[in-house]
């Protein structure tokens, strides 16, 4: 009887310890996980989490070109259209598709407007944008598929780092700020907007010429457009493609 009581005590002790450990690790992960709240780069996915269900009429999907060019409040004030900029700096093709899929889990937009800047590059040039996009979604089958699609054919990168995330985000102890511990309050009411308080000189007129010359779509680009189309058919939204203007000098024009 004594042995049995001791055995049960130990089982309970192990179970409670495991639960406490799990909570401690989860809290630590929540502090360390990738967040974009302030700074020159942006991701509106945190704001999406705080957006009430089925409240978005129009979604603009794309990179920084979207949050720089499209001001959702304008559509609301002028036309009563509830708009959301689902934009992440440097958003690549695969990320835009899976982030849109993620949005559709809680929203039923009538129109999805996708910026086609993703057609002009395959891989991220900025390391931070790679993490920003690959680590934006909650861990799920879609987040795993995103990593698989993005790194398809890449044998050098350890995909496990992106599946498990800890190998990447644990280094953020070097840069933790207030909003890693507490929620960034504007996330509750912004709808894909970024707030900047910078004061600077006006940009000079960009030196880029007409940037786009006609060319064949690559297989990967074609696949991306077809996937978006299939998604629009399945989910019942109207799909619009747009090429939003952006500041570019001669070298960076695609």
Residues found near another protein in the complex (CB under 8 A): 10, 13, 17, 20-21, 24-25, 28, 32, 160-161, 164, 166-168, 170-171, 173-174
How far is Cα 189 from Cα 166, in angstroms, rounded to an integer? Answer: 29
Decide: helix, strand or coil at residue 242: strand
For tokens 């900025």, what's the residue?
126
CB of 214 to another protein, least distance (A): 39
Cβ 43 to another protein, closest distance in Å? 19
CB nearer another protein, residue 7 or residue 196:
7
CA 211 to chain centre: 27
Q: Please, are residues 67 and 87 in contact by the beta-carbon 8 Å criterion?
A: yes
Report the alpha-carbon distance of residue 84 to residue 64 in Å, rounded.
14
- Measured from the CB atom, is 110 or 170 closer to another protein? 170
Give me the least distance between CB of 9 and another protein, in Å please.
10
Nearer to another protein, 49 or 177 (CB): 177
Name the one residue in this structure whose structure tokens are 């049995």: 4
The number of residues making up the chain comes to: 254
Which two tokens mark 190?
């912004």
Beta-sheet pairing, 238-242 with 58-62: unpaired
Say how far apart CA 54 and CA 52 lie, in whole Å: 7
Q: 7 or 74: whose CB is closer to another protein?
A: 7
Outline where the chain has alpha helix (H).
2-32, 45-49, 64-69, 72-79, 93-103, 127-134, 141-150, 159-164, 166-169, 178-181, 219-235
Nearer to another protein, 3 or 251 (CB): 3
In the bound complex, what is the minimum distance in angstroms from residue 155's beta carbon to another protein? 15
Spatial distance between the Cα atoms of 183 and 128, rounded to a whole number of angstroms: 21
In the complex, least distance from residue 180 CB atom to another protein, rounded to whole angstroms? 12
Nearest residue (CB) to another protein, 10 versus 110: 10
Q: What is the separation, in whole angstroms, between the first and last Cα of the chain?
A: 77
Residue 41 C-beta: closest distance to another protein, Å: 18
Q: How far is the CB of 63 from another protein (least distance, A)?
A: 22
Closer Cβ to another protein, 8 or 207, answer by number: 8
């Amino acid at each position: 009887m004594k042995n049995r009581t001791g055995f049960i005590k130990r089982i309970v002790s192990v179970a409670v310890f495991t639960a406490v450990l799990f909570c401690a690790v989860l809290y630590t992960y929540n502090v360390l996980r990738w967040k974009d709240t302030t700074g020159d780069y942006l991701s509106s996915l945190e704001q999406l989490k705080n957006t009430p269900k089925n409240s978005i009429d129009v979604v603009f999907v794309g990179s920084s070109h979207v949050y720089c060019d499209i001001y959702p409040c304008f559509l609301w004030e002028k036309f009563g259209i509830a708009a959301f900029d689902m934009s992440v700096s440097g958003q690549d093709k695969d990320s835009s598709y899976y982030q849109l899929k993620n949005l559709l889990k809680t929203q039923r937009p009538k129109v999805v407007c996708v910026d086609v800047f993703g057609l002009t590059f395959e891989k991220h040039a900025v390391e931070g944008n790679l993490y920003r996009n690959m680590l934006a979604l909650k861990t799920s089958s879609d987040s795993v598929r995103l990593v698989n699609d993005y790194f398809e054919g890449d044998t050098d990168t350890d995909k496990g780092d992106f599946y498990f995330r800890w190998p990447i985000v644990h280094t953020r102890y070097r840069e933790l700020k207030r909003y890693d511990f507490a929620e960034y309050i504007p996330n509750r009411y912004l709808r894909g907007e970024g707030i900047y308080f910078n004061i600077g000189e006006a940009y000079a007129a960009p030196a880029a010429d007409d940037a786009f010359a006609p060319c064949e779509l690559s297989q990967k680009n074609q696949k991306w457009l077809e996937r978006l189309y299939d998604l629009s058919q399945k989910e019942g939204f109207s799909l619009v493609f747009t090429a939003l203007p952006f500041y570019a000098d001669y070298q960076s024009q695609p």
